[in-house]
Amino acid sequence: MQLRIVHRTEFGYDARASASYNQARMTPSSTPEQIVIHERLDVTPSPWTYPYTDYFGTHVIAFEIADPHEAMAVVATSTVQVHRAAPPAPSTPWDEYGERGIADRWTEFLMLPDLVAPPEELALRAREIAGSAELPGQAAHAVVLLVHDEMRLLPESTDAATTAAQAWQQRTGAVQDMAHLAIGALRSIGIPARYVAGYAHPVADPAVGETVAGDSRAWVEWWDDGWRALDPSTATAPDDRYVSVGFGRDYEDVPPLRGIYSGTDTSRMSVSVEMTRVG
């Protein structure tokens, strides 16, 4: 499936901003499952830009606006060819997860900071699942489904600073909360897990040429002789409607736009994502 994505973020300031410095993680990178045919970032007012790839493999465009401005618009346009193969069966045995090839290689994806640290109830249930699973990949799949079954998707009930434990307590959250809970639970049983940020076309069989409001999405990947993906908000593996943009330990590593500005105290922000199947 070939998808065009237009991600627009607009800021309006209460007073004139004298300068703005930002990092945008809004354009996909090519991976074995997707090829970026076209990508472009347009910023108004015109900035100085510097593209690079961060430590976790995410494409980043840093930009600086040094002229006074009362508004800013950031528009990322991408066309991506996606082909996700069916995931292979679990294969890595439990004893390999304590060895250097996994435990040391993926140590960043085994840490449990507050944002993803699972509450004791979830950690206990994850250990119970792990204790009865023949292979870690089987346990990982069951743990992500557990999060899906226990949580209700309610995006407005949390914000970016909400921890996994807080979301679990209220049993509601946004896609990033469900991803954080699954990641923390997987890491608590020794399975490296990472956060994936991207987009998903909301229509199961999208018509070519029809533009719709796209979904910003977060899902989970765990290591099992390769990264294996599952979306805890839908309990399904990402298919060709999914486009990955960034990878990291948690949401803090992959916000779409992060920066600072000077000259005014507050701003207003609007965000929209449009997706069109073009092939």
147-165 pLDDT tens trace? 999 999 999 899 999 999 9
Q: List, in sequence order, the alpha helices (H) in the chain.
A: 120-132, 136-150, 164-170, 175-188
Same fold flag, 2-83+255-277 and 94-253: no
Phi/psi of residue 30, nearest 5 degrees:
-75, 135
pLDDT for the residue numbered 9? 96
Over residues 77-91, the pLDDT tens digits come to 999 999 999 989 999
Q: List, in sequence order, the alpha helices (H) in 109-259.
A: 120-132, 136-150, 164-170, 175-188
Answer yes or no: is pLDDT of 37 > 90: yes
pLDDT level of residue 275 (50, 70, 90 thresholds): very high
pLDDT level of residue 115 (50, 70, 90 thresholds): very high
pLDDT for the residue numbered 163? 98
Mean pLDDT of 252-269: 91
Place of tokens 């954080």: 180
Over residues 46-65, the pLDDT tens digits come to 999 999 999 999 999 999 99
pLDDT for the residue numbered 66? 93
> Is 2-83+255-277 assigned to CATH 2.60.40.2250?
yes
pLDDT for the residue numbered 203? 96
Phi/psi of residue 192, nearest 5 degrees:
-60, 135
pLDDT for the residue numbered 267? 79
Q: How many other β-carbons are positioned within 10 Å of the β-carbon of residue 225?
A: 12
The predicted model scores a pTM of 0.96
Buried b (16+ CB within 10 A) or exposed e, 142-179: bbbebbbeebeeeeeebeeebbbbebbeeebbbbbbbb
Reading phi first (left if > 0) and then psi (alpha if -120 to 50, else beta), residue 226 is in left
What proportion of the chain, given as a percentage, has pLDDT over 70?
100
Q: Which residues contact 148 (CB under 8 A, 6 or more apart)?
A: 178, 232, 233, 234, 235
Strand pairing class (215-223; 227-230): antiparallel
Hey, is 80 helix, strand or coil? strand
Answer yes or no: is pLDDT of 264 > 90: no
How far apart CA 115 and CA 124 sit, in angstroms, is 18
How far apart CA 92 and CA 58 sit, in angstroms, is 26
Average model confidence (pLDDT) for the chain?
96
Pick one of 3.40.50.720, 3.90.550.10, 3.30.1540.10, 3.10.620.30 as the CATH number of 94-253.
3.10.620.30
Hey, is 121 helix, strand or coil? helix
pLDDT level of residue 266 (50, 70, 90 thresholds): confident
Token representation of residue 65: 């606006």
Query: Please, are residues 30 and 275 in contact by the beta-carbon 8 Å criterion?
Result: no
Domain extents for the chain? 2-83+255-277, 94-253
Answer yes or no: is pLDDT of 265 > 90: no
Instruction: Kindly calculate the radius of gyration of the chain based on its CA atoms and give it in whole angstroms.
Output: 19
